[in-house]
Amino acid sequence: MTSQRFYSDFLVIGSGIAGLAFAIKASGLGTVNIVTKKKNFDSNTNYAQGGIASVIAPGDVFESHIEDTMRAGAGLCNRKAVEILVRSGPRRVNELMEWGTRFSTTRDEHGHTVLDLGREGGHSQNRIVHATDLTGREIENALLNKISTIGSITIFENHTAVDLLTEHQLGAEPGPGDPVNCYGAYILENATGAVHIFNSKITFLASGGAGQVYLHTTNPEIATGDGIAMAYRAGAMIADMEFIQFHPTTLYIENQQGRSFLISEAVRGEGAILLNARGERFMEALHPMKELAPRDIVARAIDWELKKSGERCVFIDIAFKGSDFLMKRFPYIYSHCLKRGIDISRQPIPVVPAAHYLCGGIVSDLNGRSSVKNLFVSGECACTGVHGANRLASNSLLEGVVFSHCAYEYLKEYFPAKGAGIRVPEFPHWNKEGTFDLEEWILIQHNIEDVKRLMWDYVGIVRSNLRLQRAYRRILLLDEEIKDYYRRSTVTPRLVELRTLATLAKLIIRGAITRKESRGLHYNTDYPDSIESMHMNVVLRTGMQPEMTSLEDISFS
C-alpha cells in the first residue's frame, strides 16, 4: 500500500456531466487527471431520465425559461446566474451533439427533422431535450467516448477523495482575511487501501449530490456528498443546504432496498395524472398547473395524501396513452415496470417521493470559483444560485455543462497568464494508520443506517422545530462516535462516506434550523409562511455560526 504522488495541471473530482465537460475543455490548457469512485462511472448524470432544458422551440423565448426558473426558485435564485444558464443553453446543447450525443428527434409540419422537445413540471413551454427516457446515460456515454480520444486526460477509476490539500495539511493556519489555497487532494485507491497525493494547480470539484444521506433516494450509492464535506472542512462557504428536492414520483416497492427507481417528470409532462388510493385526482384542487406544478408542491401534496389516508403510496396513471406510444417514449420505464409486474399501458403506477436533488452546496461565483483559492466547482455539489429554494425540472444537466464552460472560459484567460506562478508545496504522505476488523465494519454500517433513518424521519419533506432540534442533538452524538472511528481506524471508502454523511446531515439540519420560514423545498409546520425579508441564503462555514446573506452580495477575488 505504497503512497504515490501524481501531478497534473487540473484535477477533476467526479465523472458526471460537469466534470467530464470541463475535462474535455481544460485538456486544451494542460494535463488533466480525473478521479471517480466507481469503475462504471456511476453518477447522477447516468440516472437523469428526463432531459436538459433549453430554449430551442419556435415561439419559446429566453425570458420565459428565466421566469419559470425564478418562479420555481421561490425568490432565492440569483438572476444573473439564471440568465447565464438560460441564454447559454442552446449553444451547450449543440456542443453536446457535436461531441456525439444523440437526442430524440421528430418531424415538424414541413417534414424536417427537429429535436423532440418534452415538457415537465414548472415549465410553461415544451423545451426538454431528451434521449427517450435515458438522457443522462446517452450524454455520459458521448462524453466518455470523446475523452477516450484525448491523450492529455488520465482517468483513475475506483478512487475515493478523502481530503483537499490546503495549508491545513502542512500545519499552517491562514491569518484573518488570508485566502485558503487548494493544491489537489488526498485520494484513496479503493483496491489497495493506499492514499495517494494528487497535486494540481487547479482542483475542479464535480463530485455530485448527496441523496444517500436519506434512507430513500433516487441517487446511486456513490452520491454521498464527499466534495461538499471536503470543501467545508477546507474552509469553503456552503449555502442552501436545507433545500433538498424530493422527487414526487419514484416507483413504490414494498420493503424497498437500494436506490429508488425514478418515474420521470416527463411522464406527467405527457399528461399523466396523480390519483390517491380511492382513484381520486387530487392535484386539481391544489395548484393551477395541477400535476405540472413545481416539484416541492407535488411532493408535499403526495406526502399529505399519504399521511391523511394512511396509505403507503399514490398512483400515476398514463395508461390512456397506449402501449405503442409508451414503449417508444418511455422504453426504460415501461420495461422496468413490466419486470415488476406493472403494465403501465393498462394500470396506474404506484409511486412515493424520494430524496432526489440538492439545491445547495459549495458557494460558487459565475466563473465557478469557490471561496478557496484555485478550487473550482460545478454541477450538483455547487451552489451557483441558479436553483434558489427549488430546482426547476431538467435544469440540472444544463447547469453542469453551462457553469463548467464558464469555469473554462475564465481559466482560459487566467491559467496561461498565472498558472505558472502557482507553486505547489511538498505535502507529506498520508500517515494515519489504524486497525480495521469485522466489528468495526458492522458498527460503520449501523451508523450509516442511523444517519439515513434520522434524516428521513426528522428532516424530510415536512419539518418542525421539534423534529429538527431532536435530529440535531442526535447527529451531534453520532458525529462524535464517527470521529472516534475515524481517528483510530484504517481509512476505507465506507468510512470516508460515513464521515461525509454525518457532516452533510449536520449542515442540512443547521440550515433548516436557521431558516425561520417555509420557502420552496423547506417546509416547517412551525413557520408555514414565507417572509419577504428572508430573500436571503443560509451560508455555513467551519467554526462559524450560520449567516443569513444573499449570494449576489458575495464575490471572490
Confidence check: pLDDT of 334 > 80: yes
* Pick from 174, 161, 72: nearest CA to 124: 72
Within 13 Å, how many C-alpha atoms sit on residue 513's CB side? 18
Please identify which residue in the block is written with the cell numbers 492529455: 152
pLDDT confidence band for 94 (50 / 70 / 90): very high
SS3 256: coil
Pick the more confident residue, 330 or 47.
330
Nearest alpha-carbon partner for 6 in 184, 151, 206: 184
Evaluate if residue 120 carries a pLDDT over 90. Answer: no
Q: Percent of the chain, pLDDT > 70? A: 96
3-state secondary structure of 181: strand
Q: Taking every pair of C-alpha atoms in the chain, what is the biggest distance, in angstroms? A: 70
Question: Does residue 295 carry a catalytic annotation?
Answer: yes
To which residue does cell 493556519 refer?
173
More confident residue, 47 or 356: 356
pLDDT given for residue 132 in this prediction: 83
d(CA 42, CA 399): 19
Q: Please report how many Cα atoms fall inside a 13 Å half-sphere around the Cα of residue 105, on the Cβ side.
A: 9
First to last CA, the chain: 40
Residue 419 CB neighbour total at 10 angstroms: 16
Contact assessment for residue 314 and residue 302, using Cβ atoms and an 8 Å cutoff: yes
pLDDT at 294: 82
- Answer whether residue 24 shows pLDDT above 60: yes
pLDDT recorded at residue 488: 80
Distance CA 334, CA 345 (A): 8
Q: How far is CA 4 from CA 171, 186, 198, in A?
A: 21, 10, 8
Give pLDDT tens digits for 508-537.
999 999 999 999 999 999 999 999 888 999
Nearest to 200 by CA among 428, 422, 430, 429: 422
pLDDT 10s digits, 457-514 = 999 999 999 999 999 999 999 999 888 888 888 888 999 999 999 999 999 999 999 9
pLDDT digits (tens, 9 = 90+) for 249-289: 999 998 777 788 999 888 998 999 999 999 999 999 999 99
> Which stretches within 29-186 are classed as H helix?
62-72, 79-98, 135-147
Residues 211, 450: Cα–Cα separation, whole Å = 15
Rounded Cα–Cα distance for residues 418 and 166 (Å): 19
Rounded Cα–Cα distance for residues 487 and 359 (Å): 31
- Alpha helix ranges (H) inside 105-208: 135-147
- CA 457 vs. chain centroid, Å, equals 21
What are the pLDDT digits (tens) for 123-148? 999 999 999 878 888 999 999 999 99
pLDDT interval class at 22 (50, 70, 90):
very high
User: In Å, how far from its chain's centre is CA 233?
Assistant: 19
Which candidate, 234, 224, 261, places its Cα nearest to that of 444? Answer: 224
Considering the chain, what is the average pLDDT of its residues? 91
pLDDT in tens, 283-320: 999 999 999 888 888 999 999 999 889 898 999 999 99
pLDDT by residue (tens digit) across 372-426? 999 999 999 999 999 999 999 899 999 999 999 999 999 999 888 777 778 889 8
Q: What pLDDT, on a 0 to 100 scale, did the predictor assign at position 136?
A: 85
Beta-sheet strand order (sheet of 52-53): 52-53, 128-129, 117-118
pLDDT band with cut points at 50, 70 and 90 for residue 41: low
Structural domains in the chain? 250-355 (3.90.700.10), 438-553 (1.20.58.100)
pLDDT band at 433 (very low <50, low <70, confident <90, very high): low
- Residue 2: the pLDDT is 82
- Average the pLDDT over 163-185 and give the result: 87
> Average pLDDT in the 361-367 region?
97
Q: Which of 430, 420, 424, 380 is nearest to 403 (CA)?
A: 380
Q: What is the pTM of this model?
A: 0.92
Residue with grid cell 477533476, as numbered in its chain: 12
Minimal CA–CA distance to 233: which of 282, 284, 167? 167
Which entry of 259, 295, 463, 499 is annotated as an active-site residue? 295
208: pLDDT strictly greater than 90: yes
pLDDT band of 42, cuts 50, 70, 90? low
pLDDT of residue 434: 58
